[in-house]
Amino acid sequence: MTQTPSLERTCLADEHLRLGAQMVDFHGWEMPVRYGSIPEEHLKVRLSSGLFDLCHMGRLEITGADAALWINRVLSNDYDALKPGDARYSLICNEGGTVLEDVIVYKLPEPALSSILLVVNASNRPTVLQWMQAQKGSLEAKLVDRSIDLAMISIQGPQSVRILPACLEKSDLPLEAMKYYSITHAQVLGKSAWVARTGYTGEDGFEVYLESGDAPTFWRQLLEVGGNRIAPIGLGARDTLRLEAGMPLYGHELDLTVDPFEAGLGFAVKLEKAVPFVGQEALRARKAAGPARKLTGFKVQSKRPVRQGMKILGPAGEVGSVTSGAPSPTMGCPIAMGYLQTGLNSEELSLLKADVRGHLEPLEVVPLPFYSRTRKKK
């Protein structure tokens, strides 16, 4: 018998078991990978809506007189450009300008004005906590890990803007009036909560932060109110949804060997911001030099899925490697993202193949994202 280390369970674990989920170990958390079929869950989100337990993610609250200065020393994006109620995607880089973590930062509005909510990956929560402390110096601020007491539930898909309001007692802004990448204060089950119009699926949707004790009731309410317009969605479909949307996942597209420019995330690096930040000089140099490889989208021309770690071959040998790959439910063929050497000519680009356990599968280079809800269908 092998000893399995005990896994952390979210406040919604019993709900998942009741719904018949297949549970897996995801970075130390016992999480639902699927409730039924992954492609069906995926399409439910694209066409209607889906409900996600994201309580495994890290939620850190930063407060105090120097909170903004502290976070700005760490983030590649410019926190000072945010107005209360804004959300931003940002990277946390190390001194060498490679990626330690990617985050969503929220500048909370009333009644928590001047508080910062930072949402980080489950796998990187300890790293970020350590990193933040290391950058604090003598600043007047404190960081509270809210990952356990503050639940995180996401509802994504075109129907979410219709379903969610029925489960909120009130929200400071009507949800349909919220802009994408913003957050508002709300009331759920008699208590204070936050509703953000953010997500990781390529669809319109919301992420709700509420007291963990109320999360199971709220979860059941959403399923009940949504009826056949909503379904619980596991991490399997979450991964294929974000892949189609061309969104990076730490440990796949991002890690300490990658810089933001290679990853196509230059938009999240503000070299000219007023507060100096970790990695700034290295990033300036990397930007000036230009990336030697770029994150690229591929369509696989057979049905054989291409997956993380597989080599990408050109006519003259290895030119890259795959970071994520899966059958795409929306496109009906396998898709992949991976790093490809820059400077290949068009003939070389037309002859790329992935080495799938010895089978050489032709790859077609396609623009990222694979799927966009706002882009007109071709």
Residues lying near another protein in the complex (CB under 8 A): 22, 33-34, 36-40, 236, 240, 303-305, 307, 326-327, 334, 357, 359
Cα distances (angstroms) measured from residue 78 to each of 92, 102, 239: 12, 14, 28
Q: Which is nearer to another protein, 128 or 300 (CB)?
A: 300
Q: Which is nearer to another protein, 126 or 309 (CB)?
A: 309
How many angstroms separate the CA atoms of 272 and 70, rounded?
17
Q: Which is nearer to another protein, 157 or 305 (CB)?
A: 305
Q: How far is the CB of 30 from another protein (least distance, A)?
A: 16
Q: How far is the CB of 362 from another protein (least distance, A)?
A: 15
Answer for the pair 156, 47: CB distance below 8 angstroms, yes or no.
no
Both tokens of 174, joined, read 């009507």
Q: How far is the CB of 305 from another protein (least distance, A)?
A: 5
Q: Which is nearer to another protein, 59 or 353 (CB)?
A: 353
Output the DSSP codes for 149-160.
TEEEEEEESTTH
Q: How far is CA 99 from the centre of its chain?
A: 14
Q: How far is the CB of 303 from another protein (least distance, A)?
A: 5
**Residues with Cβ < 8 Å from 328, sequence gap 6 or more?**
240, 243, 244, 334, 335, 370, 371
Q: Which is nearer to another protein, 40 or 255 (CB)?
A: 40
- For residue 229, the SS3 value is helix
Answer for the pair 105, 88: CB distance below 8 angstroms, yes or no.
yes
Q: Which is nearer to another protein, 83 or 357 (CB)?
A: 357
Both tokens of 338, joined, read 């991976």
Question: H-helix or E-strand containing 145?
Answer: strand 142-145
Answer for the pair 182, 87: CB distance below 8 angstroms, yes or no.
yes
Q: How far is the CB of 378 from another protein (least distance, A)?
A: 24
Q: How far is the CB of 6 from another protein (least distance, A)?
A: 17
Q: Which is nearer to another protein, 179 or 303 (CB)?
A: 303
Closest CA to 200 of 249, 259, 151: 249
Residue 20 exposed, middle or buried by CB count within 10 Å (0-12, 13-18, 19+) = exposed
Helix 125-134 to helix 67-74 angle, to the nearest 10 degrees? 110
Q: Which is nearer to another protein, 183 or 235 (CB)?
A: 235
Q: How far is the CB of 298 from another protein (least distance, A)?
A: 16
User: ∠ CA 96-100-102 to the nearest 5 degrees?
Assistant: 125
Q: How far is the CB of 235 from another protein (least distance, A)?
A: 9
Q: Count the alpha carbons within 13 Å of 237 in the hemisphere toward its beta carbon.
A: 29
How many angstroms separate the CA atoms of 351 and 334, rounded?
17
Helix 235-244 to helix 38-47 angle, to the nearest 10 degrees? 60
Q: Which is nearer to another protein, 192 or 302 (CB)?
A: 302
Q: How far is the CB of 307 from another protein (least distance, A)?
A: 8
Question: H-helix or E-strand containing 232?
Answer: strand 231-232
